[in-house]
Amino acid sequence: MAVQPAQRTFPRLMIRRRHANIIMLVILALPLLLFVGLPLLALLLRAGLGVLLQNLANTQVMQAVGLSLMTTTLTTLLAVLMGTPLAYLLARYEFRGRNIVETMIELPMVLPPAVAGVALLMAFGRRGVLGSYLSDAGLELAFTQTAVVLAQLFVAGPFYVKAAIAGFARVEKDMKEAAAIDGAGPLATFRQITVPLTWPALSGGLVMTWARALGEFGATIIFAGNFPGRTQTMPLAIYIGFELDLSVALTLSIMLLVISFGVLLVVKGLLRQRIGSI
Amino acid sequence: MRCIIVGLIMLVLGACGQPAAAPPDASADTAASVADAALSGELTVFAAASLTEAFTALGQQFEADHPDTTIVFNFAGSQQLAQQLAQGAPVDVFASANPRQMEVAIEAGRIVSGTQQVFVRNRLVAITPADNPGAVNTLQDLTNPDLKVILAAEDVPVGGYSRDYLDKATVDPDFGSEYKDAVLANVVSYEESVKVVLTKVALGEADAGIVYSSDVTPDQADQVARIDIPDEFNTIATYPIAVVEDTAQPEPAQAFIDYVLSADGQAVLGAYGFIPVE
C-alpha cells in the first residue's frame, strides 16, 4: 500500500492504528467471504475435469444450456423493450397511485418464485383469467417455451425496471430543458441526454434481470413444466439431475457458475470504463 | 472482539447441528416392552409424496397414542428423499414408493439391507380433469393427436411404473405396437412428484395424467375423473419402509413402523385407497 506523502508526517502510532483497523475489518469480513466462497469451490472440487468434459457431450446438458441462453436473452430484450417506457413513466411523472404501481412492479422480486408460478398459471393457464380466452383462440401457453420466457420475465423483469427508475430519476430536469431550448426534440433528448446519463443504471439492471432469469426455477417448473429440450432450462436440469445423475447436476452447476461469473465480470469492467469516460 | 466472533461462529455451528440425542431409555434392553414403554421424542419421517394424506392421518393417530412423541413428516418424490438421505439428512424412518429408491438409501449406507418391509401396495390409474376437455374416455384415447399428457419423471416411482404400464400395453394387440411412443409423444411435461401431476390435471392444464389410485382422494374426486387400468397391464406398486440405521431414537421409530403395519394402521391406509398388505 502506497503511503501518501501527507500521511508521512503523521505520528507512527496513527499509522499503526490504521493497520490494526484494517486487520480488524478483514477479520470481520472474512466469515461471509468464506461462507460464500467455500460451496462454490466445493462444486469445482467435487466435479473434476473428467466428469465435466464427459458431460459436455451429453445432449440433455447441451439442450438445457442452449435453451437457457436463448430464453434469457429473449427475456432481457423484452424487459428492456417493455420496461423502459414503464420505468420512464414512473420516474418522470407524479400521479395518484404511483407508489402502489411501483410497489406492485417490485413485488415479484420478493415473492417466492413458486408463488409466481401459481399466479402465472391462474392468469395464463388454460383455465386462467386471461388464459381461458387465449385457449379458446387456440393459443395455449402452459408447457411451452413462451411460458419459460414469461416466467422469467415476471420474476426477473422488475430488476431492470427498478434500476431504470432509479437511473431516470437522477437525470436533472434542467438538463433536459436546456436541451429542449437548444432545439432537441423529445426523442433526441432521450437518446442523447437521458440514455447516456442513465446507461450505468440501465445496464446494471439489465444484467441483474438476465442473471435472475438464468437462475429462474420455481416459476418455470410450475408454469412451463419440465420437458428436456423444450422447457427444461439449466436450473431444472440441475434439479432433476440431482435425483437422476449427480454428475449432470454438477456439470450444469459449474457451467452456470462460470457463465454468470464471466458475464458479471465483463459487465462490471464495461461499466467502470463507461463511467470513467463520462 | 475476536472472542465475540469465534463465539458467534460456534453459536451458529452449534445451532445448525442436530440436537443432542437423548440417551437411550433404560427400558430399551427389554425389547418385549417396547410397545408399552412411554415413548418420547421428535421423529423425522421421510415419506413418498403419494403417502401425504394417509401418513398425516396415521401420524396424528400415533401422536394421540403416544402423547410425548411428535412426528415431523417430509413428503416428496421418493427419489428426492433417497438423495437427501444419501447426502446425510437426519432422518429416523424412510417410506419409499418403490424398492428401487429404498435400494438407493441402502447403497448409501443409511439403511441396513433386509430391515425394510413392504407395508402397502398401490395401483395406477389414468386421470383427466372432471370436464374432460381432451375427450379421453379410454386408455387408447391417450394417443389422440394434440392431447396434453403429463407424467412423473422417470426417476419418480410413479413415473417408472407409468412406463411399465406403457410397455405392457404396447405388446397387447388392443393397444398396438405404437402405443407407448404415441402416448410419450403427447407428454408435455415430466413432473418431479405424483402430486404435481395430480394438481396440474385437476387444474385442467393437462388433458390426462397417470397417478396412483390412492391419489384420487375424496377431496379430489370432483375435480378429476379416473380411467382404471386393468390388472394385466397395471404395475402394482410396492412400498417399503425401514428405520434409518443411524437414528438417534430406534425405539419410537420402530414403534411407528409397527403401527403402520398393525391392523389399525393398515385400515387407515386402506381408507385412503391403498391396498393393505395381508
Which alpha helices (DSSP H) does A93-192 contain, by range? 98-110, 113-124, 131-136, 145-170, 173-181, 186-189
Per-residue pLDDT at B4 exceeds 60: no
The residue behind cell 463465539 is B7
C-alpha of B99 from chain center = 11
What's the whole-number mean pLDDT along residues B137-146?
Answer: 94
Residue A149: the pLDDT is 97
Select from B203, B223, B224 the residue whose CB has the most chain A CBs within 10 Å, as the one to mutate to test that interface.
Answer: B203
What per-residue confidence (pLDDT) applies to B27? Answer: 40
Percent of chain B with pLDDT over 70: 86
Mean pLDDT of all residues in chain A? 86
Q: What percent of chain A has pLDDT over 70?
A: 91
φ/ψ of A251, rounded to 5, equals -60, -50
Q: Which chain A residues contact residue B205 at CB under 8 A?
A: 121, 125-127, 142-143
Confidence at residue A100, expressed as pLDDT on a 0 to 100 scale:
93
- For residue A45, the model assigns a pLDDT of 86
B83/A221 touch (CB, cutoff 8 Å), yes or no: no
Tens-digit pLDDT profile for residues B171-225: 999 898 999 999 999 999 999 888 899 999 999 999 999 999 888 877 777 899 9
B41-121+237-276 matches B124-228 in fold: yes
Whether chain A has a CB inside 8 Å of the CB on B192: the answer is yes
CATH number for the domain running over A52-277: 1.10.3720.10
CA-based nearest residue in chain B for residue A131: B205
A144-158, A183-197, A224-238, B153-167: lowest mean pLDDT where? A183-197
| pLDDT for residue A240 | 82
Stretch among A9-23, A204-218, B11-25, B264-278 having the lowest mean pLDDT: B11-25
Strand (E) or helix (H) holding A209: helix A195-215
Mean pLDDT computed over A103-122: 92
pLDDT in tens, B34-45: 444 578 889 999
**What mean pLDDT do residues B246-252 have?**
90
pLDDT at A249: 86
| DSSP element (H, E) containing B188 | strand B187-191
Average confidence (pLDDT) over B55-75: 93
Q: Which residues of B touch A142 (CB under 8 A)?
A: 205
Query: What's the pLDDT score for residue B31?
Result: 40
Whether the predicted pLDDT of B5 surpasses 60: no
The whole-chain average pLDDT of chain B stands at: 85
**Quick one: pLDDT at residue B130?**
93
pTM of the model: 0.76
B104 touches chain A (CB under 8 A): no
Query: What's the pLDDT score for residue A9?
Result: 54
- Note the pLDDT of residue B21: 40
Pairwise CB contact (< 8 Å): B205 & A221 = no
Smallest Cα distance from B268 to chain A, Å: 30
pLDDT at B37 (0 to 100) = 54
Q: Is there a contact between A225 and B188 if contact means CB atoms under 8 Å apart?
A: yes
Domain B124-228 sits in which CATH superfamily? Answer: Periplasmic binding protein-like II (3.40.190.10)
Question: Average pLDDT for residues A155-171, to the nearest whole number?
Answer: 92
DSSP-assigned beta bridge partners for residue B45: B73, B93
Q: Judge whether residue B1 has pLDDT over 70.
A: no
Considering CB atoms only, which of A226, A230, A242 is closest to B83?
A242
Closest Cα in chain A, distance from residue B184 (Å): 11
Whole-angstrom Cα Rg for chain A: 24
Preferred mutation among B96, B189, B207 to probe A, highest tally of A CBs within 10 A = B189
Distance from CA of B142 to the nearest CA of A (A): 18
**Residue B106: which H helix or E strand, with range?**
helix B99-107
Q: Is the model's pLDDT at A175 over the cut of 90?
A: no
Residues 6+ apart with CB under 8 A from A213: A71, A72, A75, A76, A152, A153, A155, A156
Q: Does B1 sit within 8 Å of A127, measured CB to CB?
A: no
CA neighbor of A263 nearest in space, from A230, A215, A217: A215
A positions 34-93 inside 8 Å of B (CB): none
Q: What is the CATH number of domain B41-121+237-276?
A: 3.40.190.10
CA distance A227 to chain B (A): 5
State the pLDDT at residue A275.
55
Contact B204 A127 (CB under 8 A): yes
* Torsion sign across C-alpha atoms B111, B112, B118, B124: positive
**A243 shares contact with chain B (CB less than 8 Å):** yes
Domain boundaries, chain B: 41-121+237-276, 124-228
Specify the amino acid at residue B171. V
Per-residue confidence band for A263, with pLDDT thresholds at 50, 70 and 90: confident
Among B84, B74, B120, B93, which residue's Cα sits nearest to residue B212? B120
